[in-house]
A and B are shown apart, each in its own frame.
Chain A
Amino acid sequence: MRRRRARRAGTARREGASEVGTLALQLLVNGILLGGLYVLVAQSLNLIFGVMGVVNLAHGSIIALAGLFTYWFSMRTGLSPLLVLPLALAGGAAAGAAGQRLLIEPVMQAGAKAGLLSLIVTFGLSYVLIELALQVFGSDFVSVPYLQSSWKLGALAFGKALVVAGAFAAVMSALLYWWLNRTYSGKALLAASQSPTGALSCGIDVARVRLIAFGIGVGLAAAAGVLVIVIMPVAPQTASDLTLLAFVIIALGGLGDYLGVAAAALLLGIAQSVAGYYLGGNAEYVLPYVLLLVVMLAGPGRFRRLG
C-alpha cells in the first residue's frame, strides 16, 4: 500500500532548483505551504480535543472521506473542487453534531474513564468510515488534478494548487482563532474547555458547547479533506496516517494552544519537505511518527519552547 503512495506534489518539484540556496528556499516555501494545510488538519482536531478531552480517532477518516467525495464530485461534474468546500463544511458540521449526540455524549457521562472510552468509540468509528469509503470509492490513491501549473517568482516556483489550498486553510484557521478569542460564543467554548464546571456555573450550557465544538471540528476536518485531495493523493487507508499527523502536530504545539499548533504545523511541513527531498519518501512518511515519539518522550511543553 505504501509502495503505491505517490510522492507529495511539493517535494516532487525538484528540477527547477539548481543552486543550494535556491533549493533551500524552495523547500522552505513548499514546506510552509504544506504547513498551511496542516494547520487546518490539526486545528480541527485540536478544537475537539481541547474542548472535550476527546481525541477523535475518526478525524483522518473524515478528512479522507471528504477528499474522496471531492474527487468523485469534480470528476463527475468537471467543476472546481473548491466548490465542494462550503458543502463539506456544512455537511461535516451536521454529521459531526449528530455523531457527537449519538456516540460521544453518552460516553462523556462516564466520568474518569470518559477519555479512554471515547478513544475506543472513535477508533471503532474510524474503521466503519474507512470501510464505507472503501466500498464507495475503492482502494486506489487518487488526487484531483487542479491548477497543475505553478507561479514563477525568480528561481522559485509556487505550485498553484499548494498556494490556493494553503491559503484557504490558513484563512479558515485564522477565522477559527478569531472566533475563539474575539466572540462571546467562542470564548464560552474556550471557557468550557478549561473548566467545564466553572463554565457551567457561569451559565454556559456545556453540553451544547461540546455539540458545537464537535460539529465545527468535524466540519473543518471535512473542509481540510477537500483541500488535501488537491495537494496529495488520498485513499481510505490514509485515514489513520492523517489522524496521527494531526495528533503529532498537536502534541508538538501544545494541546489547546492554537498559536503553538499553527507554528508546529508549519514546522512539520518544512521538516517533511526537507526530509522528503534529502532522505526520500519513506523518511517523509515516517517522520511524523518519529517526531511523535520524540515529542512525547521529551514532553510536549519542553518541545514547544524549542519550536
Chain B
Amino acid sequence: MEEATGERRGEPGLTLGREAAAERRGRRRWQAGAALGALAVVAAVPLLSTGYLLQLATDTLTAIILAYGWNLISGFTGYLSFGQVSFYGLGAYSTALLVLHAHLPWYFAVLASGVVGAAAALLLGPFMLRLRGILFALGMLGLARILGVVFNSWGFAGASLGLSLPAELMPVRIYVATCLLALLAFACNAFFVHSGFGLDAVSLNEDEEAAAALGVPATRVKVIAFVLSAILPAMAGGLVAWNRSYMDPSSAFNSSLDLQIVVFVLFGGIGTLWGPFLGTLTLMLAGEQFGVAFPDLQLALYGVVVISTVLAFPGGLVGLANRFGWLMRPIVLAPKTLPAVVPPARPARQGAAPVLEVRDLTVRFGGLTALDGVSLSLRRGEMLGIIGANGAGKTTLFNAITGFVRPTSGEILYFGEPISRVPIFRRAQRGIARSFQIPRLLPSLTVWENVVLASRHGRQSHRAAEHAAWVLQTIGLAPMWRDPASRLTPGYQRQLEFARVLALDPELVLLDEVMAGMTREEQEAVRGVIRCLPEYGVAAVACVEHVIAAVSDLCDRMVVLDFGRKIAEGAPAAVLTDPVVVRAYLGEPL
C-alpha cells in the first residue's frame, strides 16, 4: 500500500496551505491532461491502424480490464485469488451460448455475461470469502479447475471441442466495447480509492476483526468487492469469445491467464488506482516484443518478472513513482482543513432498561471454562471497573459482549434487547465500542482514515468527517491527522485506539487496559477523557484495568473476576478491602 499524500510533506499543521492547494490543482490538471492523451491514443488506434494493431490494442485493454477486476478483490480487499479466470470462462461461455442458442446480439450477450458473473459471485462469495489467505487463493484455483472439467465434459457446451461463433465483421465495434468496459473497470477502481466504501474494503485487507469492531460490515463489503471483480472478467470473457469467434475449456479456464494478471498488477502496484493500468500496458507491450522473439518463453518471462518485482520493488511502478511524490493515494474523505469543532448532539435514549445486562454468561473453549455463570449490569451514567488476575476472563467478557466470541450459554442484553446473535459490526453500529488490549490500528492508513472509518457508519459523509474532526481535536491527535498510523509512537497509537472508540459515537464503551504501559502524564490525559465521556453521550463505561489506582476513583462500582467467576462486586473501597478479593490476588495467608 502506498503512503498517503500528507505524510510525504510532513505537514505539521491542520491546513494544507495555499501552496499545497496549488499543487493539488496542478495534479488535477496533470490528470486531466493524461486522460485526454490516453483518449487520443485510444481513438487513434482504429483510425490509423492495421488489423494487427487493433487486435493488440483490444488484447491490451482486455488485460487491463482483467487486471482492474482482480485488483478490486485481491488488491484493495486483500483476498488474493488465483481463480478469477473462473468468471472469465463463465462469461465467455455465457456469451457464446446466448449468441448460439438464444440468438441474442453479441452486445446483449456480453451484458448478460456480466449478470451471470455477478450471480455466480453472489452465490459463491459468502462461502468462498469465509476462507482467508492461502486457503482462498487455492480454493479459487480449485474452483477454476472444477469448472474446466465441467465444461470439458458438458456436451451442450461443445465439451472439449468448445463452441464456434459467427465471425465479427467489424472488429472496431469490439474494440469500442472493450474501451467502454475498460473505462468502467477504471471507474470501479477509482471508486475504491476515493470512497468510504473503498476505505472499508482496504480496512479488511489490514485487520478484518478490528474493522468489524469499528462497524465495518465485513461480509457485505467483501461480497460486493467480489461481485464487482467477477462482473468485469465475465464481460471481458464474453467480448473475447465473440472477438475470437471461438471458445474452448482449456482457453476459457486457463490458470496461466490468472498468472499473467497477477504479474501485471504486481508489477504496476497492487491495490493502487494506476498500478494495474501501468503494469499491464508496460508488460503487454514488452511481452509482445519478447513473445515475437521467443514465442515459447513468455510465461517464464512473466515468472521472472513477478519474482523480481516482489523481491526488488514490492510497491511496483506506482511504488517507485510514490518515491518522487507522484501518483500518491488520496486520503479518503479528507477535508482540506479540519473543520471547526462541532460537539455531537445525539438525543439520549428513552426507557428505563439498563445499558448492559449480562445474565449467567458462560464461555467455554474446549475444556477450558473462561467465564462461568457471570452476571452483571450497567446502569446509565455508571462506570464499572472489572479487575482480576491474568486469565480471570476479563477480556473474554468483553469479547462476548462485543461479539468476538460466542457465549456457550447465558444472555447479553443491550438496552433491554438481546444481542447474543447480532454480528460484531452491527453491535458496533448500535453503539457498543471497545478498545483492544494491544492497539489494532490499520497501519497503512492515515490517522484520519482510521478515525473516519469508525465515524462513517450510520452517517452521511460530511457528518462523518465533522465527527472525525471533532474526535481528533478532542483526543489531541489533530497535529498528526494526515500521518500513517504506523508512524505513531506507541503512546499516540493508544490514543488513536481511544479516538476510534469515540468516533463510533458510542453509548457503551468497553476499555481494555487502555492505560497499560502509559506514563503518569499520559494516564492523566486518558483519565481526563474518560471523565468527559458522559458529556459525549456515552451512557455507560466498563473498563478492565491492571493499574487499579488509576481507575478506582473513577469507578462507581467494581466487579472482581477470578477463574471465570464473579467473586465480588460493590463500591471500589469495599471491594478492594474484601478478604475474598485480597486472597484471590495475594493467595492464601501462610
- Enumerate chain A interface residues (CB-CB to B < 8 A): 1-3, 55, 103, 106-107, 110, 115-117, 119-121, 123-128, 130-132, 134-135, 240-241, 244, 247-248, 251, 282, 285-286, 288-290, 292-293, 296-297
Contact = CB atoms under 8 A, between A and B. Distances in A.
A116 B133 contact: yes
Contacts of A248: 142
A127 B296 contact: no
A121 B302 CA distance: 11
Interface stretch (B144-152, B177-185, B237-245, B460-468): B144-152
Contacts of B303: 124-128, 131
Interface stretch (B219-227, B255-263, B520-528): B255-263
A251 B146 contact: no
Contacts of B306: 120-121, 123-124
Nearest to B143: A293
B145 A289 contact: yes
Nearest to A241: B145
A131 B299 contact: yes
Given A115-B133, A120-B266, A290-B146, 11 more contacts: A1-B250, A116-B133, A121-B307, A123-B306, A124-B259, A124-B263, A127-B303, A128-B304, A131-B297, A131-B299, A244-B138
A117 B256 CA distance: 18
Given A127-B299, A296-B135, A244 B307 contact: no
A132 B160 CA distance: 27
B256 A293 contact: no
Given A2-B149, A240-B255, A117 B307 contact: no
Contacts of A293: 139, 142-143, 146
A134 to B, nearest CB: 7
B128 to A, nearest CB: 8
Given A127-B302, A290-B146, A251 B135 contact: yes
A124 B296 contact: no
User: Per DSSP, are chain A's interface residues mostly helix, strand or loop, or mixed?
Assistant: helix
B311 interface: yes
A261 B571 CA distance: 56
B153 interface: yes
Of the listed residues B137, B148, B259, B307, the one surrounded by the most CB atoms of chain A closer than 10 A to its CB is B307
B484 interface: no
A75 B152 CA distance: 33
B146 A119 contact: no
Given A125-B303, A131-B296, A131-B303, A120 B310 contact: yes
Of the listed residues B303, B305, B311, the one surrounded by the most CB atoms of chain A closer than 10 A to its CB is B303
Contacts of A123: 82, 259, 262, 306
Interface string B249-273: 0100001100100110010000000
B139 A282 contact: no
Contacts of A127: 256, 259, 299-300, 302-303
A110 B307 CA distance: 14
A125 B311 CA distance: 12
Contact of B302 (A2, A124, A132): A124
19 contacts: A2-B250, A103-B307, A115-B134, A116-B80, A117-B314, A121-B306, A123-B262, A124-B305, A126-B303, A128-B307, A130-B299, A131-B303, A244-B141, A282-B152, A286-B146, A289-B142, A296-B131, A296-B139, A297-B130
Contacts, number: 106
B156 interface: no
B127 interface: yes
Given A1-B250, A290-B146, A124 B130 contact: no
A131 B310 CA distance: 20
Nearest to B124: A293
B153 A282 contact: yes
Interface string B294-327: 0011011011111100110010000000000000
A245 to B, nearest CB: 11
B80 A119 contact: yes
A117 B141 CA distance: 17
Nearest to B80: A116
B172 to A, nearest CB: 34
Contact of B160 (A3, A106, A297): A3
A134 B101 CA distance: 39
Given A121-B306, A127-B300, A286 B135 contact: no
B296 A289 contact: no
Contact of B138 (A128, A130, A286, A292): A292
A65 B303 CA distance: 16
Given A2-B152, A128-B303, A293-B143, A117 B310 contact: yes
A155 to B, nearest CB: 33
Of the listed residues A120, A128, A241, A244, the one surrounded by the most CB atoms of chain B closer than 10 A to its CB is A120
Contacts of B141: 240, 244
A135 B299 CA distance: 12
A41 B153 CA distance: 28
A307 B262 CA distance: 35
A106 B133 contact: no
Contacts of A288: 142
B283 to A, nearest CB: 13
A296 B133 CA distance: 12
B296 A135 contact: yes
Contact of B142 (A121, A124, A244): A244
Contacts of B297: 131, 135
Nearest to A122: B307
Contacts of A296: 131, 135, 139
B146 A106 contact: no
A119 B310 CA distance: 10
Of the listed residues B250, B266, B300, B304, the one surrounded by the most CB atoms of chain A closer than 10 A to its CB is B300
A2 B254 CA distance: 12
A247 B138 contact: yes
Nearest to A128: B303
A24 B438 CA distance: 57
Contacts of B149: 2, 282, 285-286
Contacts of B138: 55, 244, 247, 292
Interface string B417-443: 000000000000000000000000000
Given A1-B250, A119-B137, A292 B127 contact: no
A248 B131 CA distance: 14
B202 to A, nearest CB: 14
Nearest to A106: B311
A257 B83 CA distance: 28
A297 B307 contact: no
Contacts of B314: 110, 117
Nearest to A118: B310
Contacts of B152: 2, 282
Contacts of B130: 297
B139 to A, nearest CB: 5
B139 A292 contact: yes
A244 B330 CA distance: 40
Contacts of A289: 142-143, 145-146
Interface in B98-147: 127, 130-131, 133-135, 137-139, 141-143, 145-146
A115 to B, nearest CB: 6
Nearest to B256: A127
A260 to B, nearest CB: 17
A9 B218 CA distance: 48
Nearest to A297: B127
Contacts of A110: 314
Contacts of B142: 244, 248, 288-289, 292-293
